[in-house]
Amino acid sequence: MQINRLVSLLAAVIATGLLVVAPARAADAPSGDAAWDAGVARFIEGHLAANPVTAVYAGRHDFDGRLPDLSEAALRRDVARIEAERARILAVDVSQLSESRQRERAYLLAALDADLFWKKEADWPRRNPAFYLGLLDPEIYLSKPYASLESRMRAYIAYAREIPRAASQIRGNLRTPMPAPWIEYGINAFSGFAQFYGNDVAAVFADVKDPALQSQLAAANAAAAKAMQELADWLIAERKHATQDYALGPQLFARMVAATEQVDVPLARLQQIGQADMDRNLASLKKVCDGYAPGKTLRECADKANAMKPEGGAVAGARRQLPELQAFVAAKGIVTIPGPEQALVEAAPPYNAQNFAYINTAGPYESKDVPSVYYIAPPDPRWTPEEQAQYVGGEGTLLSTSVHEVWPGHFLHFLHVNRNPSKVAQLFQSYAYTEGWAHYAEEMMKDEGLRAGSAEWEIGQLLSALRRNARYLSAIGLHTQGMTVAQSEQLFRDALADPGNARQQALRGTYDPAYLNYTLGKLMILQLRKDWMAANPQASLRDFHDAFLSYSGPVPLVRKLMLGNDSPPL
């Protein structure tokens, strides 16, 4: 799922934030809730104006074509704005708020704490090229039919005209020398954008028969491609100065988990928890393989299952799987499907192929007929033919991915999110909540009997879980224990990942230390389910899932709201 951040200069100056709520002094004074709601409305408008790319992906197309000011001065004002908003929210008199507004306050504080960690404590805008990639993604203008093709073409042209300025500011922000894995990621991403602007965008808008617009498009694409390639070339020149200084360090890593996910667990214990889940999944895989491929190693067993490729390729296979998954969710009553929306399946564009699959969901401000798109990336053409063949997993592995991305993973989650009565809950989600839910869904669907008796599916689900286990342990190792990228890659290989995925995922761990949140979120949800069901013995699994999806924010916060206590989330 794409997460888009950052702030514009104008909005940083004019954003007004939340009112401090005082007790009513007269019968005609606004209630605490009324004052809170007015303040939230102003806060959201300021937030969207400050983050125009986020606004567009949320469905606010009055922000189409805009990119934020990324200058050094704007970055400093951005942090000051967030700190001021946080102080205003903390000053609100909680006793004057209803339960639902108190919940919104907790969601907002959690979101601002996470934002401040990345922008101030980790200093990602000045250190990490990955910080900017979601910002530059033009996918919504190209593939989502939220408006006519001509209208989206005009929005795209405005966006593309902003790219040279943004590229110059990104280069000015990023400090060198830079870690080698981050340099390679930036080179691949920025050169991928350049190729995409130069080679692929024009075909999307070819049916617009307006010579003037087509001329504007060609000029904007040429300038954008040039700017992105120059950014990539700058990073290529930085290779000779590259370092291996990608680690956050133990203190900042622990702070990351606490500030962004409200998990305060010693790192040694956190590692033990992740290792135990990997051991559990390896034991389950051995049990399945003993029957499926007796006498074979786990690698040979996985290879046998992955040899069962989806007919017609991964995109065609996923398109066949989605109706099956939706029907299973409905027939088993696993979770409420709140509307008729469907997800499309497409091949990922080359600039965003660093992961096998992801989904761009329709935002809360979009009309209900705007589709979400589940993207599947082809293998890197630079890999060997054998590595490319191995990269596309078997039918069972693809089924696990489709569960994760669509039914009942991210897509169904955001059907619930977009219907939440709170705009705060719609707009602010935590990494471990969203990815934890989607990863939890894979194991839960297997346990509920999806394709019961299919060893290929069970093996696919376990291979997916083991890859997330390797992310969890790699994040801790890379950032707190001196693990090298080569050692992380071997960890993924030991977790039965193919060579291409192992290479990708080891590099990802250097610039995305929070990718432990897939397994971390899953484990917290499993514990919450156990405890909530024990406290509500008459409830069904569907009751738990519907209740969980009605909340937002970090899982420990959701746990407190659902159980009414501060019990440990792990």
For 264-297, the DSSP string reads: ---HHHHHHHHHHHHHHHHHHHHHHHHHHSTT--
Tokens representing 329 are 């969710």
In 64-131, beta strands by DSSP E:
none
pLDDT of res. 18: 32
pLDDT number for residue 388:
67
| pLDDT value at residue 222 | 98
What pLDDT is attached to residue 350?
A: 64
436 contacts 524 by C-beta, under 8 angstroms: yes
Residue entry with tokens 């980790």: 122
Mean pLDDT per 10-residue section of the chain, whose length is 570 residues: 32 29 35 90 92 94 96 94 94 94 96 97 97 89 90 98 98 97 95 92 94 98 98 98 97 98 97 98 98 97 93 92 98 96 85 71 88 83 71 86 96 96 95 97 97 96 97 98 97 93 94 98 98 98 98 97 95
CB atoms closer than 10 angstroms to residue 295: 8
pLDDT (0 to 100) of residue 385: 76
- pTM: predicted TM-score of the whole model, two decimal places: 0.90
pLDDT for res 390: 67
Start-end of H helices in 51-122: 52-57, 72-90, 99-116
pLDDT score recorded for residue 27? 36
Beta bridge partners of 374: 345, 359
179 DSSP β-pair partners: 243
Cα separation of 151 and 136, whole Å?
Answer: 19
